[in-house]
Amino acid sequence: MPCYHLSIITNLAMLRQGNRGYTVLVKKVLNNKVLLGSLAGVALVAAALVGYRAFGWGTMGPVNGLKLDLSRPDALVRTKSLSALPRDLLTVPLARDVLREDFLFYYEQSEDRLGLKGSLRRIAYEHELGWGDQLLRMVLDQPAEVALWRDADGSLKHFAIAVSRSQLTRLLEEAGKVALKDTQMRVAGSLRVDGDSVPVYALNYAWQRTLLFAAHGQRLVILSHPGMLYGGGDGKHGDGTAEKTVASLLAPEPAKQHVFHAQFHLDNAAPEGHSIAVKADFLSFGYQPFFGALEALRFDFQQGAWQSKVLLNADKLKNGGYDSSALWPQLPHHPSACFSVPVDWTALQPVLKRLGSKTSEPVVPLAQHLQGPAAACWYGTSRLHTPVFVATRKPQAGDDAAVVNIYGSLFEAAIGGKDPVRKTTGKDGTTRWERSVATALGQSTPALAVAGNTVVFSADGKLVDQVLAVRRKQAPAASDLLPDASRTIGLIAPASLARLIQLEAFDTLPANNEPVLRAAANEHLVPRLNALKKYPPLRMVLKRLPASGTSWETLDWQETGR
């Protein structure tokens, strides 16, 4: 499930970029129209054994241009059987109702998988081999690890699959012979593994789709794109990191094979079912440095049930830790989705320094004035690209009015526009700034307010007013139905979220301009959103915080009152 955890100051900085960053965020949000299907998409990339949009053997630019670090994947899937993973995902009632079985059948009958299967059958038939379908079964029916990397559009398109199998000797001998005379398979290069020279084979299995595979001993590794290992069509290998990583995956020693485990803080024991770990940096669109204590999310399937976990670094839980009790009483009731994240406010200093060069007074000190986690919330009364952000100030000593004015300077520098900034001060001491801004999505009125120890910002000024109304006890708060606000780190209202997704989806598909896609959305998206609307609101509860170091902590999903 995508997680748009952005701090208030981070969002201000992004809007500063002439609304370019603002539009990028919108596009990324809209590219994930079925948010709850993203986890399944991560797993099924591996299960379907497809490369999505590959570029062919001679066109390495798009991948090489990403500077893909093969030693540091964005996600890691460990499973006893890749073929069982999609079906086990559908044991989650919500996933089963929203995605349905045709989701599974789609990936089982996908164009890429069928193309790969057909290519292997053709090669086996023409060369009188016995492993046409055996190679696919060898990968899909065995314990495996799948590492995934994001593409330029932010989706997990590139993968490496590593499996252990005892029947590889004959396959390798036959593959070597086929590569000498087949039009779809050839030797792409070689690797040094445990003192041996290991050939790397390239298989063109569909138009502009090529994968690499190599085997050594009982180990088989498959890469979804040649550019993951080779930097370009000229065969140059870059700095050698990719080769070292693949060589480790092929090594006979189990300790070397688990090359990705340390960065995900995983032990080397094989999972009983499935385990999917996704780094927070991927889920947060690269803004994870602002909340470095939150490192990854994990989903484990054991004994017929899924469990969620979060990877937290206790050493980075500073300045208020992860106690969210001060946030929920400030937030309006009934959010479509709302998350709190443990922000490292000192990480904002470089951003504030850059913005401070455009103000009459320094704004860097604001990084020392904020504490605790920040909240990012979406409401059905607004849009998917206009969440509201809430943070907590430290109690101020001395001239607090001077400190408040610094927020106004920050707002004016961060929110570009030709219209002047309008400042108002309420009877309760609340100070509010707003500015009208013309964007590619229409006119917008971002607003920032400081009320007591609360700082609130949104690109939709009406959401800021709603937060202020909650503070004045003129509207119900999100905490009204929370028995344990301090450990609640997320709220999701499926019905409201579904309506918001539907609004955004159809707003990007006007009937006059996109009749085909609009009809497809009506037929396929709307029934799934209607199924999502039947589920009650849920809250994510963090049962405990790590005392020290970095560790995986359990997330509990509980129903809340409506």
Angle between helices 494-507 and 20-30 (to 10 degrees): 110
Mean pLDDT of 354-358: 83
pLDDT of residue 248: 95
Across 4-13, 113-122, 462-471, least confident range: 4-13
Nearest to 73 by CA among 148, 133, 166: 148
Please report, for the chain, the start and end positions of each structural domain, with discontinuous segments joined by +.
37-288, 317-493+537-544, 495-532
Nearest to 486 by CA among 342, 322, 335: 322
Distances in Å between the Cα of 556 and the Cα atoms of 93, 307, 396, 496, 553 are 16, 8, 36, 21, 10
Helix ranges restricted to H, 36-80: 38-48, 61-64
Higher pLDDT among residues 465 and 272, named by residue: 465
Place of tokens 């400042």: 423
- Per-residue pLDDT of 234-262, as tens digits, reads 444 467 889 999 999 999 998 899 999 99
Helix ranges restricted to H, 127-264: 134-140, 169-178, 241-250, 254-257
CA distance 536 to 558: 10
Helix, strand, or coil here: 77? strand
CA distance 95 to 110: 20
Mean pLDDT of 187-195: 89
Residue 405 is inside which H or E element, if any? helix 400-414
pLDDT of residue 9: 29
Backbone angles phi, psi at 255, to 5 degrees: -60, -35
Contact 409, 433 (CB under 8 A): no
Backbone angles phi, psi at 73, to 5 degrees: -75, 160
CA distance 306 to 554: 12
Of these ranges, 44-53, 183-192, 292-301, the one predicted with the greatest mean pLDDT is 292-301
Contact 246, 221 (CB under 8 A): yes
User: Within 10 Å of residue 85's Cβ, how many Cβ atoms?
Assistant: 23
Does residue 60 carry a pLDDT above 80? no
pLDDT of residue 78: 92
- Per-residue pLDDT of 311-328, as tens digits, reads 999 988 875 578 899 999
Across 64-68, 291-295, 340-344, 497-501, least confident range: 64-68
CA distance 153 to 100: 26
Token representation of residue 160: 């490496």
pLDDT band at residue 169 using 50, 70 and 90 as cut-offs: low
pLDDT band at residue 382 using 50, 70 and 90 as cut-offs: very high
Does residue 26 carry a pLDDT above 80? no
Mean pLDDT of 532-539: 90
- Per-residue pLDDT of 384-404, as tens digits, reads 889 999 999 988 766 688 889
Distances in Å between the Cα of 409 and the Cα atoms of 70, 290, 352 are 43, 21, 11
DSSP class of residue 304 equals T
The residue count of the chain comes to: 562
* Residue 34 CB contacts under 8 Å (≥ 6 apart), including other chains: 98, 99, 501, 525, 528
